[in-house]
Structure 1
Amino acid sequence: MTTGARLTVEQIEINGGNVVYEILGETGEFIALTPGGRFSKDIPGLRPLADALVAGGYRVLLWDRPNCGASDVQFYGYSESHMRAETLMRLITKLDVGPCIIAGGSGGARDSILTTILYPELVTKLVVWNIVGGVYGSFVLGGHYIVPSILAVRGAGIDGLLHVGEWKERIAANPANEARFRALDADEFLKVMLRWLNAFVSKPGQTIPGVEDGLFGDIKVPTLIIRGGENDWDHPKRTSLEVSCLIKGSELIDPPWPEDAWERAGEKFTASGGKDFCLFDTWVQAAPAILDFLGR
């Protein structure tokens, strides 16, 4: 455990795996804040937003989801986001910080939406942005996060996972993950991966991957949606508009960052060879709008 004046970093066992988390702030209502992709709580751009929310009078729970950062790898559930939603529910419950505000961007928006749908008793308000949807956005995620693992196992068995770049990073951050990979059964792992991949296949009646549109009616808490950029293929404007229609009474606002922020960040990231990470640097600009919403 590492402690400091304003945060505590710890880990807790959930469903047979350790989940790393930290709490920022000392008083106020809790906000469970989740980033996108398989990025950790330490990804550049997330902490400035968390700090701004703490300055606004809240406490912030940051966490490394399973398969992210220094947490243990885990593979179960209808989709990876369903697994994350269950993990967040158990994390909030074990830490006794709920009911609380749930907030997240990109993949973290999907995780937050699912948590609110599945465990409404733990959520007081919902804030989401950069919501993934559309054929392109969904297929890119399936190809990026699921297909490499399937190909690795089909070509070299479970040991093949140890050579997948993303999983090498998880082992470097948490050496215990190597043994967790080696303990996997290849057939069972592939079964889970195919199920997770299917969640990213665009289907009628699923505005966001793996979530039936009808389930959005179960969201009863005040909800803020920050619209996707005008030409953002990964987090389409259309998806944000559709989600706002699906969540009755939700509030939809224009992005506080430039309409082309995601595209420009992606160009900068690619030009640097992946070294100049800036995809979430604009998120702190949402703090005033989020604090205004939460204060009403």
Structure 2
Amino acid sequence: MPEIEIHGGMVAFELIGPEDGEVCVVTPGGRFAMTYPGVRPFAEAIAAGGKRVLIWDRPNCGVSDIQLFEQSESHMRATVLAGLIRQLGLGPVIAMGGSGGARDTLMLSILFPELVSKMIVWSIVGGAFSSMSLANVYVMNEIRTVRRGGIDGILKLTGPAGSWSDLVAASPRNEQRLRDLGAEEFERVMWRWFEAYMPKPNEAIPGVQDHKFASIDKPTLIVRGGANDIDHPRRTSFEVHALIPGSRLIDPPWPEDAWERSQELRDAGKGGIFDPWMLAVPTFLDFIDENAS
């Protein structure tokens, strides 16, 4: 797959759909690659609606290079995505993202508004439990490990999809990138990202002050969180809706318990956690095509 250098690291990407189609960027959650089950079928379904769809391996995902900078991982990914959009000559784009991808998409709209024409976000993480869960998954074990074992310890660290050992296995050059970074700088970044995940009364989503949402002036569609989804709380979707002027909040196009059931199916080897996204394709395409020139 093609790669391009952004901010000193290689970023893998793919463009799907007609070359003259309106450009959409799809960003998944977690540290999952664009090859993770459910991502490409969703992108292909959007492309079938006449759109040109960009999927990409964010830094620290898939075969893209490891990168560690900025005040949070989502700030970093938004910065890299902005560079990718500019170098490919694609902007402004319809930015779409779920879970961690929703956070990255919101950051893109806040930091680089000139690159976004519309925005669609769903499965937004926020609140004490889900934010602290992210800290546990992405930075707390890293801090313990690098303090005890340095970069050698990080290179052996296993865990959720997208762990550092997985990233080195997917792209061997990532080992040298980690060694060049060094244990001291790695730990410094992890502490900074840990701070972003700490729940704060003025942050509906981790690492983003509430007042910054007021700058978003693009048409925005927000999918409400599921009724019992503790990882993407319903309350957070209402808060983000209240903070973005003129945004539209809709009930989920999938069942209220889709997140819980999709995890069960994934664990049983019968499906993937992003499979429910396909149910949203008609709704998302309708929103994209509204008031299209």
TM-score tier, shorter chain, comes to: over 0.9
The match for 1:293 is 287
Structure 2: which 5+ residue stretches go unaligned?
Answer: none
The match for 1:254 is 251
Once the 2 structures are TM-superposed, how far is the Cα of residue 111 of structure 1 from its aligned partner? Answer: 0.2
Taking the aligned partners of 2:50 and 2:249, their CA distance within structure 1 comes to 23
Q: Does 1:100 align with 2:97?
A: no
| Structure 1 outlier segments of 4+, above 3 Å | none
SS at match of 1:77: coil
Could you report, residue by residue, the CA deviation over 1:73-105 in whole angstroms, capped at 9, with x for unpaired residues? 011100000000000000000000001111100
Q: What is the aligned counterpart of 2:156 among 151, 160, 163?
A: 163
Taking the aligned partners of 2:265 and 2:275, their CA distance within structure 1 comes to 12
Q: What is the aligned counterpart of 1:144 among 131, 137, 142?
A: 137
The amino acid that maps onto 2:43 is A
Deviates more, 1:221-230 or 1:43-52: 43-52
The match for 1:278 is 272
Q: What is the aligned counterpart of 1:222 among 210, 219, 222?
A: 219
Check the 8 A contact 1:128/1:225 in 2, yes or no.
yes
The match for 1:71 is 64
The match for 2:195 is 198
Q: What is the aligned counterpart of 1:36 among 15, 29, 32?
A: 29
Could you report, residue by residue, the CA deviation over 1:145-172 in whole angstroms, capped at 9, with x for unpaired residues? 1112111111111111111111111111
Check the 8 A contact 1:41/1:64 in 2, yes or no.
yes
The match for 2:42 is 49
The amino acid that maps onto 1:41 is M
Check the 8 A contact 1:35/1:104 in 2, yes or no.
yes
The match for 1:24 is 16
Check the 8 A contact 2:225/2:237 in 1, yes or no.
yes
Q: What is the aligned counterpart of 1:244 among 204, 224, 241?
A: 241
The amino acid that maps onto 1:289 is T
Once the 2 structures are TM-superposed, how far is the Cα of residue 277 of structure 1 from its aligned partner? Answer: 5.6
Check the 8 A contact 2:262/2:276 in 1, yes or no.
no
Taking the aligned partners of 1:143 and 1:265, their CA distance within structure 2 comes to 22
* Matched residues, number: 285
Q: Does 1:267 align with 2:264?
A: yes
Alignment of 1:56-135 (within 5 A): 56-135=49-128
Check the 8 A contact 1:230/1:260 in 2, yes or no.
yes
Once the 2 structures are TM-superposed, how far is the Cα of residue 35 of structure 1 from its aligned partner? Answer: 0.3
Deviates more, 1:180-189 or 1:94-103: 180-189
Q: What is the aligned counterpart of 1:10 among 2, 10, 13?
A: 2
Once the 2 structures are TM-superposed, how far is the Cα of residue 276 of structure 1 from its aligned partner? Answer: 5.6
Taking the aligned partners of 2:222 and 2:271, their CA distance within structure 1 comes to 24
Q: CA RMSD in A?
A: 1.0
Once the 2 structures are TM-superposed, how far is the Cα of residue 268 of structure 1 from its aligned partner? Answer: 3.2
